[in-house]
Structures are given as C-alpha cells and as structure tokens.
Amino acid sequence: MPKVYLKTYGCQMNERDSEQVARDLVARGYELTLSESEADVVLLNTCSVRDMAEQKAIGKMGMLSRLRIGKPEMVFGFLGCMAQSRGAELVRDMGHVDLVVGTQKFHKVADYVEELVQRRKRMRESLMDDARFSIVDIEEETGSQETIRDHILKERQSSAFVSIMQGCNMHCTFCIVPSTRGAERSRGIAEIVSEVRELVQKGVREVTLLGQIVNLYGRHEFEKIEGKSPFVQLIEAVHSVDGIDRIRFTSPHPIGFRPDLVDCFGRLPKLMPHVHLPLQSGSDRLLKQMHRGYTAAKYLSLTEAIRRVRPDIALTTDVIVGFPGETDEDYALTRGLVEQVGFDNAFIFRYSQRKDTPAARFAEQVSEEIKEARNQDLLSVVDDLAKAKSEALVGHLVEVLCEGPSKTNIERLSGRTPGNKIVVMEGGTRHIGQIFNVKITRSTGFTLYGDPAVL
C-alpha cells in the first residue's frame, strides 16, 4: 500500500483542503504517514499570504529531494496557493517536483497522484527513465466550491471545519488571495447543512464555517430573506441541526458585519461568543490605501455593537505593521486602537510584498528593521491584553468542549471555551468529545489550566 506524507502550511482553509485530499487518497487505498522517509508520495499544501510561508515550503521540498536518491520512484508535489501562483516554474526550478495543483483542483489530486505512481511503476519495471514527466494544473474550474465536502475524521473527533465558499472579491492592496483563490463563489445552504448532518452522525459537536471572507457568503448567488443576509440564513440553518452544539466561523470582514449578523450573537445560543475580526491598521490613511472599506471609528463602533449584544464575547484580530508609507504616527494609531478595543489575542504580521499586488509597487516601503521593532512592540501590547483576559477567568467555571489529548502533554486533555481559549485539564478518555464545566486554576497568558467540575 503506497504511503503519502501530506504537510499543510497556512490557514484553516488550507487545512480543510488537505483533509479533502487525504480523504480522496485514503479512498484510493493510500495510507497516510507522518514519516517523510516512509513515504512514496510527498505533498506540500502551500500558502502565499507572506513570502516566508512560500520560502518555508520551497525549503522543505528542497530538503526532501534527498529522499529520491534511495527511492527514485517517489512522487513530489506542491498544492494550493503557491502552486496556483507559481505554476510550472516550480517544476522548472525544482527538478524533482512532479505535480503542481492549484486551488480549484484539489479534487483532482488523487487522480494525478495515481497517474504518476502508476507511470513510475511501469517505467521502473521497464527500466526506463521517467524523470521529466510532470503534471501541472492551475486552471479555473466552474463549481470547484462544491468539491471540498468530504471528511476524514480522527477517532472521537468532536469539531470539524466546513468550507462554505471559495475566493475573494475584495482586492485589498496587500493581498494575493484573489489571484490565488479566484472570485467569490458559494455553496448552497442545503448542501452545507447535509454535510453538517453527516458530521453529527460521526460524533462531531462543533463546526467552524470557513471562507476567505466568510460573512459575505452567498451575496452573489442568493437573496436576502426578511432582511437576513445569506450568511445569517446559513447560520440559522446550521443552528437547527440536532446534535450540533457549537457554531463558529472565520474569517469575516468588518464591512460584511451587518446588524443582522451582530444580532445573531444575542439570539442563537449555539453561535459561540468569539469573533476573529481582522483590523489590519488603526490609521484611516492606511486603511484607505489598503482598500479596506472602513475607518478606525467604524471598526471600533462595530466591536462596541457586538459587545452590547454579547458582553462576554472574545475578540481577536489580524494586524499588519510596516505597510508601505506607515509612519510613526500611523503605527501609534494602530497601537492605540488595539489597546482601546482590548483584544483577547491578535496575530501581528510584518508587511510582506507579494507579487502582482498594488502595495508591492507602492513607494515608501518600510525597512525590515522598523517592521520588526513595531512587530515586537505590538506583540508586547497583545501579550499583556491576552494575559489580563485569561487571568480574569482564574477561579471561575467555564464550559469546555474536550477535543482530546493536549498537544504539549499527552497525559492531559485539552479543550476550548466558548470564547475559543485553550484549556488543559486532567481527565480520562470518557471526557473526550464531551462538553462540561472546568474550574480554571491558573493561566499562562494564552493557555488556561483547570480541573473538570464533574469527573
């Protein structure tokens, strides 16, 4: 049985795409392995949001090329965003790469792998050299949003990602996603609900709805009904599925966060009190250059509206430092807004020039030294905020969905609060997949520790 090593870089969308690929390969008789040296097929599902993510994948693939010395029939492939962006040049520049598959063709990966494996097998048996044969597919495909629908679940897995749309039409000036993921296109509500029901039958109790800009779901395909956007209609439909106890979504855009969606947090108990709401900058001047479509005041007003409806909500965000032309004053505005909102956590990114994006051609590119200094400074602000938010829970009971063994200590269990904070706790296998109260005994800032209230 051929073995496949599949490594994923980047966001939850990439993780979900990889899961579909893994499921298709297992259905063909392939076995997944965590060992590169045991693999007959090596696939890297890539990210292009920042240059560092691309360099990591390229470096990893270069390092893995040595495996072909003892196993000339091995198949090596790039999938996903970087594959979409770079295409055939990856085969040209890395001689051992056999397969390059873009973001709309994940459902074709198993077919292509099988073709390459069988071809290599035939060539090996006939002692012929097949080193130059490769497959590159980065073409668009109508209906590709419907192809990420199957799951390969671990034993007692309690939460799952559900892809509801693909692509993005926003064209923020710093972002390569519209060119790697294509235009917005959404799945039907009935198909998504059917997928959720199947997950429930397999023991899943929490789903996270995924989209590049998830709260703009269906705006081109479906109509509003009684003032409710297609995304709110979808949330309500998933909320009605028996057996689903928790609903999350990521990542939304502030301009798509209309009153009907804000209202959901006050009336739908299964919708978890956590919103990851990308800010990117607190400077109106930079927000305009980024084409974000909102001001700092509008962003702040939105967070206040959400908190009025759900006071216990956890807010997290993304921030870019060092965007072209960012001055000390611009950065100070961002820092101040982060402090004013009081996020539970934030991902801070140094601006990375991406090819074919407008911002890559902007004058006044900021030096790496300044980017790093601002990055470290804002991280310290976020760390202090996160620590205070977590320490406020010490001594209290919180509801936790237990997901399984802790990643850092398999002798303990790990779960998440409604606000998406990680809790490490004592317990046994009977707790996995269950929702119960945990008394928080201590905090390390980003991780909570506690004891189940009922063993």
Residues 43 and 106 in one domain: yes
Across the chain, mean pLDDT equals 95
Residues 258 and 343 in one domain: no
Residues 252 and 318 in one domain: no
Could you read off the pLDDT of 169-192 as tens digits, one per residue? 999 999 999 999 999 999 999 999
Where residue 408 sits, what CATH number does that domain have? 2.40.50.140
- Greater confidence (453 vs 443) lies with 443
Could you read off the pLDDT of 245-259 as tens digits, one per residue? 999 999 999 999 999
Position 48 scores a pLDDT of 93
Strands (E), 22-125: 31-32, 41-46, 75-80, 99-101
Of 397, 400, 398, 399, the residue nearest 432 (C-alpha): 400
Could you read off the pLDDT of 295-312 as tens digits, one per residue? 999 999 999 999 999 999
Residue 131 has pLDDT above 60, yes or no: no
Query: Quick check: is 27 in a domain?
Result: yes
Query: Quick check: is 72 in a domain?
Result: yes
| Locus of tokens 């820092």 | 335
pTM for this model (two decimals): 0.95
Position 409 scores a pLDDT of 86
Tell me the Ramachandran region of residue 205: left when phi exceeds 0, alpha when psi lies from -120 to 50, beta otherwise: alpha
Q: Identity (one letter) of the amino acid at 18?
A: S
Q: Which domain holds residue 16?
A: 3-137
Work out how many domains the chain is built from and give that number: 4
Query: Quick check: is 183 in a domain?
Result: yes
Q: What is the DSSP string of 47-76?
A: --SSHHHHHHHHHHHHHHGGGGGT-TT-EE
Residue 1 has pLDDT above 90, yes or no: no
Residues 112 and 50 in one domain: yes
Query: Quick check: is 143 in a domain?
Result: no
Residues 382 and 436 in one domain: no
Query: Quick check: is 438 in a domain?
Result: yes
At residue 37, the 3 state secondary structure works out as coil
Confidence category of residue 104, pLDDT binned at 50, 70, 90: very high
β 75-80/165-166 pair status? unpaired
Where residue 332 sits, what CATH number does that domain have? 3.30.750.200
Of 240, 160, 241, the residue nearest 204 (C-alpha): 160
Q: Which of residues 375, 391, 407 is at a domain's end?
A: 391
- pLDDT (mean) for 307-336: 98
Residues 375 and 403 in one domain: no
Sign of CA dihedral 82, 85, 87, 92: negative
- pLDDT (mean) for 270-286: 98
- pLDDT (mean) for 111-139: 82
To 5 degrees, how large is the angle CA 218–CA 253–CA 377?
160
Residues 417 and 438 in one domain: yes
What the block records as the tokens of 413 is 């269990």
Residue 91 has pLDDT above 70, yes or no: yes
To 5 degrees, how large is the angle CA 300–CA 301–CA 307?
90
Residue 129 has pLDDT above 60, yes or no: no
